[in-house]
A and B are shown apart, each in its own frame.
Chain A
Amino acid sequence: MPRTIIEKLWDSHVVYERPGAPTLLHIDLHLVHEVTSPQAFQGLRERGLKVRRPDLTLATADHSIPTTDRSLPIVDEIAAKQLAQLEANCAEFGIRCLGIRSDWQGVVHIVGPELGLTQPGMTVVCGDSHTATHGAFGALAFGIGTSEVEQVLASQCLLQRQSKTFQVRVDGALKPGVAAKDIILALIARIGVGGGTGSVFEFTGGAIGALSMEERMTVCNMSIEGGARAGLIAPDDTTFQYLGGRPHAPKGAAWDAALARWKRLPTDEGATYDRSVTIDAGALEPMITYGTNPGMGLPVGAPLPDPARIADPLERESVTKALKYMGLEGGKPLLGHAIDVVFIGSCTNGRISDLRAAAGVLKGRKVSSKVRVLVVPGSQEVKRQAIAEGLPEIFRAAGCQWREPGCSMCIAMNGDQLAPGEYSVSTSNRNFEGRQGKGGRTFLASPLTAAASAITGVVTDVRTVL
């Protein structure tokens, strides 16, 4: 029977099944960070357990790490303790840790792929909901809670129930000024933040095939914002070219064997999905969110929704509450709204191509004197590449702050945050109330839109400054 790639990935990782219980699934790569792991390591200690497969586990410090000068001590004592705990736990349990002094430190979903650890056909988990990023390689990758982190550390397995298959077909070609980020924001605006619950997305179609690996990671990254357990893209030549030569990618005869295996992964002709939606890439505009969840998005030039026109009472209440929090009025446009901060970075848009896109807009220009702009590379490797290409000089000359790698203002745990009431245009993934700092207000957008808005100091359609 023809199968989707989602079903092939599932079938090839089943360890044990019995009626009335979820399936025991094997995990090929377990990524760990400082925030969701300490209680899991403590659990292992209390039970007297070891880490079963340290060779399939990798830790990095990203969430609470400062993005300022790393030669200085960490000011936040609680964060410093958490980061030290990660390194101590990894040393105790024999796990490789890309800590604050590592040349490969970075945001967990950026370092896995750049090291070549994320490969087609794998199952990848992490105590972080943006783990779907790794799905860009044709892997089944999903976020887990801390109890599950402990389970994987102890057994390299997880109890799972099979998800529904959900095809997101993106046909046509993106227009200039429209980015991968706009595809995923448009999808979530269409299906809502719960639209993919219980499902795994497979992104297909010509517009997806035309994306680079980094753009594919941006798309898969935000699958969780559409409620999906995971999101993935079948591997193709773009995938293989990206992987070839990376530190942990297979070499020689092992590469040839892996390639033959990977080429069998794409969805079979005639396989069916539980659900499908189609998006016309050519009709997409640059997207921006206006509200307090990622589903509250619209084309950058469109008027805000008017709560009076929403029939469902809970939905009306949600939009009313969101507009009130955001200090916005229904029916008015967002274009031209003043902003205070621009954040360029995160596991969604902190890769080298994102920095190149932003630098392309900012080169030879100045950011508005009213706007604080943070550019945060996703990893030490991204930082090295950016330096080699002269990007930090472009950002600094434009008046941006060039920072050290980490999650930074995406989650605002490390001191990089909005003040109450401040507005940001952010390339991150969540606009929840207080996500970028208590009382802060976030407009999510692509690096192009963020860079354009940094120049003007107001929400801007990038196509007017290109």
Chain B
Amino acid sequence: MKPFTDFQSRIVPLPLNNIDTDQIIPARFLKTTSKLGLDAQLFCDWRYDAQGNPNPDFVLNQPRSRGAQVLLAGDNFGCGSSREHAPWALTQFGFRAVVSTSFADIFRQNSLKNSLLPIAIPSDAHAELLAAVEADPGAEVAIDLPNQTLTLPGGRKVEFPVDEFSKHCLVNGVDELSYILQQEPAIAAFEAARPAAINTLG
């Protein structure tokens, strides 16, 4: 995994609650066997009209979104399906963080494994940030992962939660599977002490 470095960026506001993973990337694109090439399908049904032309009203098609690396969404972002294609599509488009008041569990876990930082902040800070980016499309936030702070355009520093382990993995680009495989003796001991109840092969 790519180490997560601190950065400063403009923001793409998408202030809707309960944005589900079927909107982030519709299921018809999940027939691929690759992780790549999903950026064109990000928010596809909101981004393009029935003829496949970009919908000018959708924020991702507006000049303000060009080069922005932070998505600002409403409550419970990423609810629904477990598809990891959602964070793959977001990161391939160029997003490195999503700011919301809350995230769906599976989406949050999937994001952390793909160097996409889910930043949950209190609703007053969320409202302040939304007002700031609506007033000034060029407004920027700064993300400092080691100190777990998001600096709003007005200079207010807001703390956000990240568990110690995920932070370590993100900052150092450590992949969880390598960590798990180091626990092989514990896994072997557990399995030896607890015979399996089933055998799918027999």
Q: Is A438's beta carbon under 8 Å from chain B?
A: yes
Q: Is B180's beta carbon under 8 Å from chain A?
A: yes
B45-A434 in contact (CB<8A):
yes
Within 8 A of A (CB), among B80-127: 80-84, 102-106, 109-110, 113-114
State whether A76 and B201 are in contact (beta carbons under 8 Å apart), knowing that A26-B187, A128-B82, A314-B74 are contacts in the complex: no
- Chain A 415-435, CB within 8 Å of chain B: the 1/0 string? 000001000000000101111
Q: Is A9's beta carbon under 8 Å from chain B?
A: no
Q: Is A144's beta carbon under 8 Å from chain B?
A: yes
| Closest chain A residue, CB of each to CB of B103 | A197
Among B53-61, B132-140, B142-150, B190-198, the stretch in contact with A: B190-198
Contact of A24 among B26, B31, B180 (CB under 8 A): B180
SS class of chain B's interface: helix, strand, loop or mixed? loop
State whether A318 and B16 are in contact (beta carbons under 8 Å apart), knowing that A24-B183, A155-B181, A434-B45 are contacts in the complex: yes
| A residues in contact with B191, CB < 8 Å | 26, 156
Of B33, B75, B114, B165, most A-chain CB atoms within 10 Å: B33
B177-A150 in contact (CB<8A):
yes
We find that the number of chain A residues with CB closer than 8 angstroms to chain B is 83
| B residues in contact with A434, CB < 8 Å | 22-23, 26, 45
Within 8 A of A (CB), among B166-183: 176-177, 179-181, 183
Q: Is A127's beta carbon under 8 Å from chain B?
A: yes
| B residues in contact with A96, CB < 8 Å | 200-201
B16-A143 in contact (CB<8A):
no
Q: Is B156's beta carbon under 8 Å from chain A?
A: no
Give the shortest distance, in Å, between B70 (CB) and chain A (any CB): 19
State whether A151 and B176 are in contact (beta carbons under 8 Å apart), knowing that A82-B33, A411-B27 are contacts in the complex: yes
Q: Is A20's beta carbon under 8 Å from chain B?
A: yes
State whether A81 and B26 are in contact (beta carbons under 8 Å apart), knowing that A146-B84, A314-B74 are contacts in the complex: no
| A residues in contact with B197, CB < 8 Å | 28, 119, 121-122, 250, 258
Q: How distant is the Cα of A227 from the Cα of B196 in the complex, in angstroms?
A: 31
| B residues in contact with A446, CB < 8 Å | none
A143-B106 in contact (CB<8A):
yes
Q: Is B76's beta carbon under 8 Å from chain A?
A: yes
| Closest chain B residue, CB of each to CB of A293 | B18
| B residues in contact with A94, CB < 8 Å | 201
A58-B200 in contact (CB<8A):
yes
Q: Is B79's beta carbon under 8 Å from chain A?
A: yes
Q: How distant is the Cα of A303 from the Cα of B190 in the complex, in angstroms?
A: 55
Q: Is B51's beta carbon under 8 Å from chain A?
A: no
Q: Is B163's beta carbon under 8 Å from chain A?
A: yes
B15-A36 in contact (CB<8A):
no
| A residues in contact with B103, CB < 8 Å | 197
| B residues in contact with A258, CB < 8 Å | 197
Among A49-57, A358-366, A458-466, the stretch in contact with B: A49-57
Compute the total of residue contacts between A and B using a CB distance below 8 Å: 211
| A residues in contact with B180, CB < 8 Å | 24, 151, 154-155, 157-159
| A residues in contact with B110, CB < 8 Å | 145-147
B105-A36 in contact (CB<8A):
no
Q: How distant is the Cα of A231 from the Cα of B181 in the complex, in angstroms?
A: 29
Q: Is B35's beta carbon under 8 Å from chain A?
A: yes
Q: How distant is the Cα of A55 from the Cα of B198 in the complex, in angstroms?
A: 8
Contact of B113 among A53, A129, A145, A198 (CB under 8 A): A145
Q: How distant is the Cα of A151 from the Cα of B118 in the complex, in angstroms?
A: 21
Q: Is A330's beta carbon under 8 Å from chain B?
A: no
| Closest chain A residue, CB of each to CB of B50 | A420
State whether A144 and B201 are in contact (beta carbons under 8 Å apart), knowing that A22-B165, A82-B31, A159-B180 are contacts in the complex: no
State whether A55 and B202 are in contact (beta carbons under 8 Å apart), knowing that A76-B31, A78-B32 are contacts in the complex: yes
Q: How distant is the Cα of A339 from the Cα of B15 in the complex, in angstroms?
A: 31
State whether A147 and B33 are in contact (beta carbons under 8 Å apart), knowing that A55-B202, A198-B105, A227-B104 are contacts in the complex: no
Give the shortest distance, in Å, between B172 (CB) and chain A (any CB): 14
| B residues in contact with A79, CB < 8 Å | 31
Within 8 A of B (CB), among A142-180: 143-148, 150-151, 154-159, 161
| Interface, chain B (partner A; CB < 8 A) | 15-18, 20, 22-23, 26-28, 30-35, 45, 50, 74-76, 79-84, 102-106, 109-110, 113-114, 163-165, 176-177, 179-181, 183-184, 186-187, 190-191, 194, 196-202
**6 closest residue pairs by CB, A with B:** A194-B76, A38-B33, A145-B110, A145-B84, A143-B82, A16-B186
Can you sample 26 A-B contacts with CB below 8 Å? A24-B183, A28-B198, A35-B83, A39-B35, A42-B33, A55-B200, A119-B197, A121-B197, A129-B80, A129-B81, A144-B106, A145-B113, A151-B177, A154-B177, A154-B181, A193-B18, A193-B79, A197-B102, A197-B103, A248-B198, A318-B18, A411-B27, A420-B50, A433-B22, A433-B23, A439-B50
Beyond the given A36-B83, A194-B18, please list 8 additional residue pairs across the A-B interface where CB-CB is below 8 A: A22-B163, A26-B187, A39-B33, A64-B30, A79-B31, A151-B180, A434-B22, A434-B23
